[in-house]
């Protein structure tokens, strides 16, 4: 029987790992309201969401297990940024390519795209290729709003 999910049941599961069933989810699905998914044990879910889900949240609970969203790892480049100035430069240059970044302590992550690789190699920046749950920075629409013009 397909379970319908409208919202997360909990931010995180308090159950031990052996009582959690993962439902793998690609990053782009976090932006969708309606979709279907299948948990690792074969349980089917239909999503008609009132609000966005988060990696690690509980979507359904039984007396035996919590069903938990698990973001699917994806290939990224991780660039070491030992100083704030260097992090700003890297973020600016990647931003000019219109790629969002994930900001972490001491490094930035960006999708492993050939265009980004060309930039990293051209600039001779040290980076690692990883497969992780990539969570780029999300800015609210008002962050892009222009300030009102001053009155003369």
Query: Would you state the pLDDT for residue 137?
Result: 79
CA distance 77 to 5: 34
pLDDT of the residue at 30: 87
Which one, of 27, 22, 64, lies nearest residue 43 by Cα?
22
Assigned fold of 3-71 = HSP40/DNAj peptide-binding domain (2.60.260)
CB-CB neighbours of 48 under 10 Å: 11
- Output the furthest CA–CA distance in the chain (Å, rounded): 68
Residue ranges, comma separated, of all CATH 3.30.70.790 domains in the chain are 74-132
Instruction: Give average pLDDT by consecutive 10-residue segment, the chain, 152 residues.
Output: 94 97 93 94 96 94 97 97 97 95 96 98 97 81 53 60
User: What sections of the chain are H helices per DSSP?
Assistant: 84-96, 114-123
C-alpha distances out from residue 119 to 86, 98, 111, Å: 15, 13, 13
Chain region(s) in the chain for CATH 2.60.260.20: 3-71
Q: What is the per-residue pLDDT for 31? A: 86
Its pTM stands at: 0.75
Looking at residue 1, its pLDDT comes to: 83
CATH class of 74-132: alpha beta
């Amino acid at each position: 029987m397909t379970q319908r999910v409208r919202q997360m049941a909990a931010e995180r599961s308090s159950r031990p790992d052996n009582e959690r069933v993962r439902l793998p989810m690609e990053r782009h699905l976090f932006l969708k309201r309606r979709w279907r998914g299948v948990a690792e044990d074969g349980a089917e879910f239909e999503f008609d969401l009132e609000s966005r889900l988060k990696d690690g949240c509980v979507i359904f609970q039984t007396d035996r297990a919590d069903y938990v969203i698990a973001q699917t790892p994806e290939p990224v480049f991780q660039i070491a940024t030992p100083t704030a100035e260097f992090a700003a430069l890297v973020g600016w240059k990647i931003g000019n390519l219109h790629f969002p970044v994930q900001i972490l302590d001491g490094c930035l992550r960006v999708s492993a795209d050939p265009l980004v690789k060309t930039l990293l190699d051209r600039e001779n920046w040290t980076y690692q290729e990883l497969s992780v749950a990539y969570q780029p920075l999300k800015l609210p629409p008002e962050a892009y709003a222009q300030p009102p013009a001053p009155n003369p």
